[in-house]
A = this chain, B = another copy of it.
Amino acid sequence: MNFAEELKKRTRHADEVVCSFLPVAEGADETLLSAMNYSVRAGGKRLRPLMIESTCRMYGGNEKLAEPFMAAMEMIHTHSLVHDDLPAMDNDEYRRGKKTTHVVYGEAMAILAGDGLLSLGYETAAGAFARCSGQETAYVAKALQILSQKTGPGGMLGGQSVDVELDGQPLSEEQIDYIYSHKTGALIEASLMIGAVLAGAPDTEIAKLEAIGTDVGNAFQIRDDILDMTETTEELGKPAGSDERNKKTTYAGIHGVEAAEETVRQLSARALRQFDDLEAEEPFLRALLASLTNRRK
């Protein structure tokens, strides 16, 4: 397998799947639909949909069931970015080199676009019931449960709320860990789990995938801190050095770039050891998880 080529091919496919579930921007609420499309189509690595597709394949699942969840996951992830960028939150004007949703559509419409993506995410995921039969119905119900638990309070939104509440304050290791594992980790855990659940993988495998997701999420977020400290605005597509300017306590800020790099390596190695322990194999997903250690944006 040529990983770079396979990544390109699968990312293009994941992007097509995600976009195929977006509503056409027309009718009375055209502006809302347009803002939702803008936010999702502004780019992104489609990492979470790729993970869902990969673990579904890995356990021999029905990809027609994975597709609505791939789109749902990206909508819910994008919802969190749109709301996170709002003036009342991080007040970011650029993301992925493009103007953020509230800069283009105004604050009120950006709030509603985020709400719309969150709601449509669940609607899209629930659409998988129309694609399944027999035992698969139980898989979809379980995947929906994981999606909502990892998204809501107790999951991603719980992490966001602690991040907002402690904004600008010095944070303990425990608080940083809570924020990273929830704000970033929860949806990565969910993505790895959902594909396998839809394929009917046993609970023991789902639990291992969740643990892998936790390590990958932490590594991913610490890598994000490092990039913010070491890369340029142009390379990132968003303002570099923003954590320091915003007095944001980060893992890399506390421990320094070198120690943070070492932690990323350790987390990544542990995730890969756990991956090799799974009952099924997916060389692409293994390479994808490994590549997160070295990403440059």
- A residues sitting closer than 8 Å to B (CB atoms) are 23, 27-29, 31-33, 36, 79, 83, 86-89, 106-109, 111-112, 114-116, 118-120, 122-123, 126-127, 129, 137, 141, 144-145, 148-149, 151-154, 157-162, 164-165, 175, 178, 182
Partner of A160, one of B112, B114, B127, B148: B112
- The answer to whether B129 and A141 have CB atoms under 8 Å apart is yes
Q: List 16 A-B contacts (CB under 8 A).
A: A23-B153, A31-B161, A83-B111, A83-B115, A88-B106, A109-B165, A112-B157, A112-B160, A115-B115, A115-B118, A116-B153, A119-B157, A123-B151, A123-B152, A126-B144, A137-B137
Q: How far is the CA of A147 from the CA of B152 in the complex (A)?
A: 17
Chain B's closest residue to A122 (CB) is: B122
CB atoms of A153 and B36 under 8 A apart: yes
Q: How long is the Cα–Cα vector from A221 to B16 in the complex, in angstroms?
A: 41
A158 proximity list for chain B (CB < 8 A):
28-29, 32
Given known contacts A29-B161, A31-B161, A116-B153, A126 and B111 CB-to-CB distance under 8 angstroms: no
Q: How far is the CA of A1 from the CA of B137 in the complex (A)?
A: 42
Dominant secondary structure of chain A at its interface with chain B: helix
Tell me if A28 and B157 are in contact (CB < 8 A).
no
CA A165 to CA B178, docked complex, whole Å: 38
- Please name all residues of chain B whose beta carbon is closer than 8 Å to the beta carbon of A87 when the two chains form the complex: 88
A141 contacts B116, CB within 8 Å? no
Chain B's closest residue to A156 (CB) is B119
Given A28-B178, A111-B89, A114-B115, do A141 and B126 touch, yes or no (CB 8 Å)?
Answer: yes
Which of B108, B144, B160, B182 is in CB contact (< 8 Å) with A88?
A: B108
A197–chain B nearest beta-carbon distance, Å: 13
Q: Which residue of B lies closest to A167 (CB)?
A: B108
Which of chain B's residues have a CB closer than 8 A to the CB of A115? Answer: 79, 83, 114-115, 118, 157
> Would A112 and B164 be within 8 Å (CB), given that A29-B154, A153-B120, A157-B32 are in contact?
yes
- B-side contacts of A36, CB under 8 Å: 153
Q: If A153-B23, A157-B32, A162-B29 touch, does A126 touch B148 (CB 8 Å cutoff)?
A: yes
Which residues in B have their C-beta under 8 angstroms from that of A178?
Answer: 28
CA gap between A89 and B114 in the complex, in Å: 14
Supply 4 further A-B pairs (C-beta < 8 A) apart from A23-B154, A114-B115, A119-B157. A123-B145, A126-B141, A126-B148, A127-B145
